[in-house]
Amino acid sequence: MKSVKGIALAALLGAAVFALPLRGPVSLIKIPKPASPAEAWLQKLHVDVRQELETCYLALAEREDMDRLRRAEVRFSVLRRSQARDEVLIVGVDGPAALAALRDAGRAVVVEPGTAVFWTEAGSAAEAVPAGLPRKALPSRSIVPFAGRGLKPAPAPLSLAPDPLVETIVSLVSGSGLAARVQALQDFQTRYASTSNCEAAGQALFDAFSALGLDDVRFQGFPFSVYTSRNVIAEKRGETYPDHVFIICGHYDSTSPAPLNQTLAPGADDNASGTAAVLEAARVLAAFPLDFTVRFIAFSAEEWGLFGSRAYAAAARQANERILGVINLDMIAYADALPEDLQIIVNSRSGWLADLFLAAAANYGTLGATKTVNASFVYSDHSPFWDNGYPALLAIEDDPLNNPYYHQTSDTLDKLDLGFFTAAARASVGLLAELAQPVREGHPRTPVGLRGRFTSYTSLFNSLQAMQLTWTAQADAAGYNVYRSETTRAGYVRINDAPVAAPSFTDDDLGLDPVYYYVVTAVGPTGLESNRSVEIFPFVIYIDGTVRAPGWPFSFWRRLF
Amino acid sequence: MRGPRAAAALAVIFLGLGGTAAAQDELSLSIGAGAFVPAGDLNRRVYGSGVVWAAELWLKFKGPFGLVAGLSGLNDAGTAAPLFDGDHEDYPVDLSRRTIPLALFYQLEIGGVSVRAGAGLAIHSFRETWRTEDFDYKGSGVGPRFLLAARVRLPARLSLMCSMAYDAVRAGSDSPNARPVELGGFQICGGLGFRIY
């Protein structure tokens, strides 16, 4: 028996040694962005890119990776040699004083104006960052699979016709209700993640969502530093597309200068305001059946480095969830000057979402809104969605922030502008309702099962490209309309002359650059038209951001010759 | 179209010269129809087999050799080939082809049957159109032709003719598909011959 045990032990040891990663030391490097978008070469060179900023990428690289980059004549600089795979934060530094404070707390290297990477030789980097500085932990996974991907936005400014049903929904948003919710959150004294008050606030949010009669309310626990906390996730399931999800979210934790953050961090603007708007959106939309699923999420530990949203977005990607868009509300109630406008911040691949927000703001209220494309604004809960390839926007009152009570014990309800706050919440609910599509009584159901197949027909000397669309037939439809657009979610043009009777349509008027987005609607016997189906875009989005029809004509020739 | 016209003129002159030569033995005309089986995969997939007609002048010299020239035509209809399997739309297409063959043959008498084997060139002009789309392509090409024919004499200068020909021609590199395709194939015809002298 001894010899058998010995052999087994040796085998186990051998397997363990074999399983050890034979990897060299890893460095944190910065790769400046080229003049033209070219994420393709990052993938070709197998660079482990962890963060996209406006002017550069941050990546982890072993010695051989760096040799490969040098051979490819890719410029880069080493920010930290022998980077242990531990905590590195990206920190916003808006001036020399902030940078000096950060350098007093640990090691900091400026990577572009206003942005530094930060780590400590010992202890928690998240806890060492001076209060008041926005921060985000370096993502734990490569973002390369999602780099460069995006949908083509409509030419701005986008003008959409107001929808009377959405106007009704938006009118239900209550300013006094928003104020009451902010007060309730402020009354917890502090919601600093790691305190029991924060957990109690999370429980209160859970109870508030539960009282609305939504389809599901749950906690999502996650670890951060040496603590744990919980996101609160409520869901109103879509009647037509339960697996297609839009998210409205905000973080409910707060902060103030240590050690006061343990006892007093009212966080009325940051971010009881966003959380209250999420709750109000849930209250208003709870009564309306929707085509698409909507999730209302209150994240925790945002102030520590977006830990709650990081856990959520990573899990969503792991489960390959179809998150179609994210509206992140963070500080939407303080007006430093009137009339205040809301900043809508997106990365280049979420631009269409900002355009729709601006259109909704114009349609459903008096709110002024400004779109800013800035991949370096990573200090709120939209950023982990970007890292996982989901389109997301941040709605925030100012960029740069101009709230003197920001991260202070004086960030209380009395400092907020309720008119601006209500307008911001209404625009957000308006956009969410437009996206999720309220089901309309008396209208046919929204078509489902839309599929597109790009195909090519060829004779000896000519070829025709065509998009074959099919969808599920439904009994309440007398016919169907087919729409297409050159941009996503706007600018649709009907391409059938009269409603088509069968649930299929071939679009063979594609021209030479067949890149279209398609939706279909059902037309009832009385002529009433349904909501639009989910949008499909049967073409390939390449890693460098270009879009092309899949593989034609080469796959054809490979097949026949 | 300049090539086929020039070739036709050349064929007429060639036969005329042959006809004036002292070595001439027999001139006959044959008319027939039959089937064309394309050699190219794409041609087979789009059009399949087609019906072909042919009219040829056979000039036999004294001795076993002779010349043959003529005109043949193919009008075929088909459906554009879809890229993927499964349900698809039908896009009807038409192909017409005119061919002027010019070949040297060797004649062998076996019993009462004259067997002719030969080789030469064939000049093709063709046009393809889509019935429902505004697609129209015209082109031309030249390729080798190989033939085998048999003739059985009947009374009154008539004869029964049977011929088989193989053409190879790749054309269409300047078409919208930007790729030459094989237009040739096997052609089998049967018909009547008439001896002029």
The secondary structure of A320-359, three-state, reads CCEEEEEEEECCCCCCCCCCCEEEEEECHHHHHHHHHHHH
Least Cα separation, residue A453 to chain B (angstroms): 9
pLDDT score at A204: 98
Query: Which of the pair, A538 or A143, is modelled with greater confidence?
Result: A143
Query: B interface mutation test: which of A459, A464, A555, A557 has the most B CBs within 10 A?
Result: A459
Chosen for mutation from A460, A463, A470, A510 (greatest number of chain B CBs closer than 10 Å) is A460
Q: Tell me if chain B has a CB within 8 Å of the CB of A458.
A: yes
Whole-number average pLDDT of chain A? 87
Residues with Cβ within 8 Å of B28's Cβ and at least 6 positions away in sequence, in order, are B57, B58, B60, B159, B193, B194, B195, B196
Give one word for A297, left, alpha or beta, with left for phi > 0 and alpha for psi -120 to 50: beta
Whole-angstrom Cα distance, residue A520 to residue A535? 8
Using CB atoms, which residue from B84, B93, B137 is nearest to A453?
Answer: B84
B79 to chain A: nearest residue by CA?
Answer: A459
Query: Quick one: pLDDT at residue A560?
Result: 35
- CA atoms of B82 and A466, how far apart (whole Å): 10
Average pLDDT over residues A376-384: 96
Interface touch A461/B139, C-beta < 8 Å? yes
Residues A330, A255: Cα–Cα separation, whole Å: 13
Q: Which of B83, B95, B175 to mutate to test the interface with A (most CBs of A within 10 A)?
A: B83
pLDDT band at A85 (very low <50, low <70, confident <90, very high): low
Q: Which residue has the higher pLDDT, A27 or A326?
A: A326
Which tokens hold the place of A124? 């928690």
Kindly tell me if the per-residue pLDDT of A243 is higher than 50: yes
Predicted pLDDT of residue A495: 94
Chain A residue numbers with beta carbons less than 8 Å from the beta carbon of B133 are 462, 464, 508
The confidence band for A546, taking pLDDT boundaries of 50, 70 and 90, is: very low
- Three-state DSSP at A422 gives helix
CB A205 within 8 A of CB A232: yes
* Predicted pLDDT at A488: 83
**Beta strands A517-523; B113-130: pairing state:** unpaired
* Closest listed residue to residue B69, CA positions, set B36, B109, B118: B118
Tokens 């490819």 belong to A72
First to last CA, chain B: 33
Distance from CA of B133 to the nearest CA of A (A): 9
Query: A192 and A255 in contact (C-beta within 8 Å)?
Result: yes
Rounded Cα–Cα distance for residues B103 and B69 (Å): 7
Q: ∠A466-A158-A244 over CA atoms, to 5°?
A: 60
For the stretch A188-216, pLDDT in tens is 999 999 999 999 999 999 999 999 999 99
pLDDT of the residue at A355? 92
Q: What is the pLDDT of residues B63-100, one digit of tens each?
A: 899 999 999 999 999 999 987 666 778 899 999 999 99
* pTM for the structure as a whole: 0.79
- In the block, tokens 């040098």 appear at A70
Q: Give the CA diameter of chain B.
A: 65
Kindly state the percentage of chain B with pLDDT values over 90.
Answer: 69
DSSP reduced 3-state for A101: helix
Q: How confident is the model at residue A150 (pLDDT cuts 50, 70, 90)?
A: low
- pLDDT at position A122 is 78
Question: CB pairs under 8 A, 24+ apart, for A108-112?
Answer: A109/A79, A109/A80, A111/A30, A111/A53, A111/A56, A111/A58, A111/A79, A112/A53, A112/A54, A112/A55, A112/A56, A112/A376
Confidence of residue A258 (pLDDT cuts 50, 70, 90): confident
pLDDT at A545: 42
C-alpha A31/C-alpha A137 separation (Å) is 18
Q: Please compute Rg for chain B using Cα positions.
A: 19
**SS3 of A158-213:** CCCCCCHHHHHHHHCCCHHHHHHHHHHHHCCCECCCCCHHHHHHHHHHHHHHHCCC
* pLDDT exceeds 50 at position A550: no
A320 to chain B, any CB pair closer than 8 A? The answer is no
CA triplet B7, B9, B12: central angle to 5 degrees? 110
Mean pLDDT across A454-468: 86
Nearest to A383 by CA among A427, A323, A328, A332: A328
Distance of CA A331 to the CA centre of its chain: 17
Residue B119 pLDDT > 90? yes
Interchain CB contact of A500 with B (< 8 Å): no
Res. A559: pLDDT tops 60: no
Q: State mean pLDDT over A159-184.
A: 95
The percentage of chain A sitting over the pLDDT mark of 90, rounded to a whole number, equals 62
Strands B50-61 and A368-373: unpaired
Our CA dihedral for A143, A149, A155, A161, rounded to 10 degrees, sits at -90
Token pair in block for residue A466: 């065509």
Whole-angstrom distance, CA of residue A442 vs CA of residue A477? 12
Is residue B111 pLDDT above 70, yes or no? yes
Q: How far apart are CA A268 and CA B100, in angstroms?
A: 91
How close does chain A come to B101, measured CA to CA in Å?
22
How large is the ipTM? Answer: 0.86
Segment A525-547 mean pLDDT:
73
pLDDT score, position A8: 52
Between A316-320, A514-518, B183-187, B193-197, the lowest mean confidence (pLDDT) is in A514-518
Reported confidence tier of residue A123, pLDDT bands at 50, 70, 90: confident
**Residue whose C-alpha is closest to residue B11's, from B120, B100, B73, B143:** B100
| pLDDT value of residue A157 | 66
Identify the bridge partners of residue B138 per DSSP, sorted by sequence position.
B127
pLDDT (tens digit per residue) in A386-397: 999 899 999 999
- Residue of A429 and A305 predicted with greater confidence: A429
Strand residue runs (E) in A436-533: 451-458, 463-470, 479-485, 493-494, 504-507, 517-523
A347 within 8 A of A375, measured Cβ to Cβ: yes
- DSSP characters over A257-285: STTGGGT-B--IIIIIHHHHHHHHHHHHH
Could you tell me if A333 and A406 are in contact, meaning their C-beta atoms sit under 8 angstroms apart? no
Measure the CA–CA gap between B123 and B140, rounded to whole angstroms: 8
Distance from A461 to chain B by nearest Cα, in Å?
A: 5
- What local confidence, expressed as pLDDT, does residue A35 receive? 47
In this prediction, residue A73 carries a pLDDT of 82
Give the number of other CB atoms < 10 A from CB of residue A529. Answer: 17
> What is the percent of chain A with per-residue pLDDT over 70, rounded to a whole number?
85
The residue length of chain B stands at 197
Question: In angstroms, what CA-CA distances link A511 with A491, A516, A549, B46, B177?
Answer: 18, 11, 11, 23, 15
> Which structure tokens are listed for B13?
């002159």
Average of pLDDT values for A414-428?
A: 97
Asked if A462 lies within 8 A of B137 by C-beta distance, the reply is yes
Res A37 pLDDT > 50: no
Size of interface A-B (CB pairs under 8 A): 85
Q: How much is the average pLDDT of A294-309?
A: 96
A413 has a pLDDT exceeding 90: yes
Query: Nearest CB to A456: which of B83, B95, B133?
Result: B83
- Name the strands in the sheet holding A463-470, side by side, starting at the edge strand that comes first in the sequence: A504-507, A463-470, A451-458, B81-82
Contacts of residues A95-104 at CB distance under 8 Å and 24 or more positions apart, as own/partner, are A98/A130, A98/A133, A101/A130, A101/A133, A102/A129, A102/A130, A102/A133, A104/A130
A554 touches chain B (CB under 8 A): no
Partners of A248 in beta bridges: A296, A327
pLDDT of residue B37 exceeding 90:
yes
**Cβ contact (<8 Å) for A556 and B135?**
no
Beta bridge partners of A468: A453, A506
Instruction: Enumerate the β-bridge partners of residue B73.
Output: B53, B98
